[in-house]
Structure 1
């Protein structure tokens, strides 16, 4: 059980897998942030240590200054007592006060902080040490005054030194904050760059999968080669899509072959049936009764409709085999006139007029003729009777716009999405009472696709139904 769990966990985190890539990208993106945290902690520790040291030094200096001032007060009192008493006890008090003052002076002036006024204090102290030479308090007063002045200088010097150290400390903190700011910006930028890089390693294979799916859906030829630098899961999906593409190609080949053989094989017996029906109808093998002639009429009509279906299948089969278009300059008005001649009988029976506004365009003549044939046939079969069919061709921004519009019932929006799929027939009744093959609009869409264009249903103000074919213009070949 434990071994199977280890195997499962190893397969989940195997090298090159999607999980491995995501976790690895996340950890790599965290490295700059971890470095930033470590640097911030180091700087904060250094600031804290520096603050503690400076505070201790400043507090020590202030304490020494206070002790020196206190020792000066004791020394001054002892000297004044000696001038009054002039005995051994007073002399010992002065000696003790001098020793204590000298210790406080040495502790302050020997400190790391440079203190101005120590020389003056040392000079005055040397004078006061010969206190026994003073005869009166008046002789002592100038020395005590100079001592107080020297102590004031010492106090001011200590204040200046403390302020200088605080200024240096503030400058160090400001420099450290500036360093932290640009370091944070740099490391965050690096993290974002690493995150984008890691996401791009996943997005690129996904985009390729989307491209392959789009190519499969549109049958756009050979698929791109398999990826060599991608997570294993996505490479597996890509292999499955390549297999699916090969399978679809096989099915397409089978479908094309089936249509080709079925249409071809049906033509021969159909020709025999039509010939037999014609012989029976003409009375070549004997006269037919009225009921027999009615049956033969139905057989002839069904045979004609079956012939139309086979021709449509053959036309669709030929279209599937054409992969590229050959662009030439086409006189659209002449081509449309030829199409109208083919449908002249149907147009007269349905009392339909055709309004043409056309200009020459660059297109594949055979494919364009199929487009006009099928759109005009669709307009004749589904358009309103005793109305006008509009055919308008124009070129705008190096794009040919072909509009074929007719009056009649509008196409429901929910039907437009699959209207151009093969073998999809409209719901409305046909004017010729013939069951359609559902290939006409599909042939139009495939012809437009081969010429790098498309067909859509648009709304116009002069008709209820309008099909627009868009064909990008190219140089003549």
Structure 2
């Protein structure tokens, strides 16, 4: 397996590796461009040379015909010398052109005709001389056509070469760009795979479900370090979870001892062991027995309740919250009677998790009883607002300072105002309300209303998200 260095080295290495096909493509393009330039230079030089030879041949044939005709009129050595010179120039021009064209079928008759014409001094027949000159002129015309064909053929060959080179360049471009893209994808995958593994580990740590995959051995050093930190975090969270569970288990066990004594005392009172109870005492004993039984249930469900707040999924059902409100108020009947507080209840049907909603009611009503003004009513209002179920619990008393609202729902945060009862608050009630609302995908906040001094509003979607 490949051993990676740092993330920077992997990124730079992948970038350089992806550039190699592009560099090869650039080199090939430059090479093809140089070939095209060289080919263009050679073909241009060839055309220029051939056309120049043809022009010189045209001039030579004209001069040859003129000098020979002059000799037939003025027969002297001076004119004959001019004619011989014209013959030599024509022969050189024809030889150069024929070597460039390589067309013996046209050049061989021309040289034979030139050999016949070289004996012009002894030709007395003017018609024969005219025939020789006409045949030479015709051969020159044929050579001119050969020049045009040769140039056309060279242009066609050059065009074919360019088309083949373009096709080769297109295929090379497609192939090398594809290779470059594949290398880019490979390099990115070498980074994406460890990142996806980190995301998987984060999900496992967040949901506390399943075991973590083993540490990576072939990944950038920085990502391996992050993975090690996540493994350490997972172990630390499990350790803290074990400590928290043990603490709650011991707390539940220790609470059962005084609770058993309270239950035994209520049992003795209900059996009239210490004497007959009047009706008012019987009512108080009944409320005390019910609260004791409820406390026993809460102690037994302490671990389950903590699990409910941390991990459980809410179960929304269509329900009538009136029964939940009545059961909650029954638990606080003694405190309400002692403080002469009336609770105004106005509820509609709702789509909620009954267990979580009951926890919210317990803590908000307890908070209202503890901090509300004596003899002043408490309002519990459950209603529908669009697609949300809204719970308002309002009481009269001192307003909550605005500076305290931001931290009001944090654990172990207690208000500065004294309570109306003898219970020492733990500062967990409102944080439990916030947790329960969050589990039902809702929220809780303090709002201003015109009929009370303090109002806590819990907003919960009617259906689970």
Give the whole-Å Cα distance in 1 for the aligned partners of 2:40 and 2:51.
16
Question: Which residue does 1:15 correspond to in 2?
Answer: 3
Give the whole-Å Cα distance in 1 for the aligned partners of 2:173 and 2:404.
56
Give the whole-Å Cα distance in 2 for the aligned partners of 1:428 and 1:129.
138
Give the whole-Å Cα distance in 1 for the aligned partners of 2:156 and 2:370.
96
Q: Quick one: structure 1 residues 273 and 352, their matched pair in 2 at CA, closer, same or farther if it must change by over 3 Å? A: closer
Question: Which residue does 2:274 correspond to in 1?
Answer: none
The answer as to 2:346 corresponding to 1:355 is: yes
Equivalent position to 1:25, from 14, 37, 40? 14
Question: Which residue does 2:331 correspond to in 1?
Answer: 342
Q: Quick one: structure 1 residues 196 and 142, their matched pair in 2 at CA, closer, same or farther if it must change by over 3 Å? A: same
Question: Which residue does 2:390 correspond to in 1?
Answer: 403
Give the whole-Å Cα distance in 2 for the aligned partners of 1:253 and 1:336.
35
Q: Quick one: structure 1 residues 375 and 403, their matched pair in 2 at CA, closer, same or farther if it must change by over 3 Å? A: farther
Q: Quick one: structure 1 residues 442 and 262, their matched pair in 2 at CA, closer, same or farther if it must change by over 3 Å? A: same
Alignment of 1:30-41 (within 5 A): 30-41=19-30
Farther-moved stretch of structure 1 (119-128 vs 44-53):
119-128
Q: Structure 2 stretches of 5 or more lacking a match?
A: 266-293
Farther-moved stretch of structure 1 (85-94 vs 200-209):
85-94
The answer as to 2:42 corresponding to 1:53 is: yes
Equivalent position to 2:235, from 238, 242, 246? 246
Q: Quick one: structure 1 residues 473 and 86, their matched pair in 2 at CA, closer, same or farther if it must change by over 3 Å? A: same
Question: Which residue does 1:280 correspond to in 2?
Answer: none
Q: Quick one: structure 1 residues 379 and 119, their matched pair in 2 at CA, closer, same or farther if it must change by over 3 Å? A: farther
Alpha-carbon distance, 1:225 to partner: 0.8
Alignment of 1:222-301 (within 5 A): 222-228=210-216, 229-262=218-251, 264-265=253-254, 268=257
Farther-moved stretch of structure 1 (113-122 vs 132-141):
113-122
Give the whole-Å Cα distance in 2 for the aligned partners of 1:196 and 1:313.
58
Alpha-carbon distance, 1:410 to partner: 8.5
Question: Which residue does 2:62 correspond to in 1?
Answer: 73
**Is the Cα–Cα contact under 8 Å of residues 115 and 157 in structure 1 kept in the other structure?**
no
Equivalent position to 2:306, from 313, 320, 332? 320
Question: Which residue does 2:381 correspond to in 1?
Answer: 390
Question: Which residue does 2:319 correspond to in 1?
Answer: 331
Equivalent position to 1:103, from 92, 95, 114? 92
Question: Which residue does 1:220 correspond to in 2?
Answer: 208
Q: Structure 1 stretches of 5 or more lacking a match?
A: 1-13, 277-307
Give the whole-Å Cα distance in 1 for the aligned partners of 2:119 and 2:307.
128
**Is the Cα–Cα contact under 8 Å of residues 259 and 313 in structure 1 kept in the other structure?**
no
Give the whole-Å Cα distance in 2 for the aligned partners of 1:60 and 1:94.
26
Alpha-carbon distance, 1:448 to partner: 6.1
Q: TM-score, normalised by structure 1?
A: 0.68
Give the whole-Å Cα distance in 2 for the aligned partners of 1:311 and 1:425.
26
Farther-moved stretch of structure 1 (312-321 vs 219-228):
312-321
Q: TM-score, normalised by structure 2?
A: 0.70
Q: Deviations 1:4-58 (Å, cap 9, x if unpaired)?
A: xxxxxxxxxx922234433432232122212212221221222122122212222
Give the whole-Å Cα distance in 1 for the aligned partners of 2:314 and 2:444.
26
Give the whole-Å Cα distance in 1 for the aligned partners of 2:335 and 2:105.
122
**Is the Cα–Cα contact under 8 Å of residues 226 and 238 in structure 1 kept in the other structure?**
no
Q: SS where residue 191 of structure 1 aligns?
A: helix
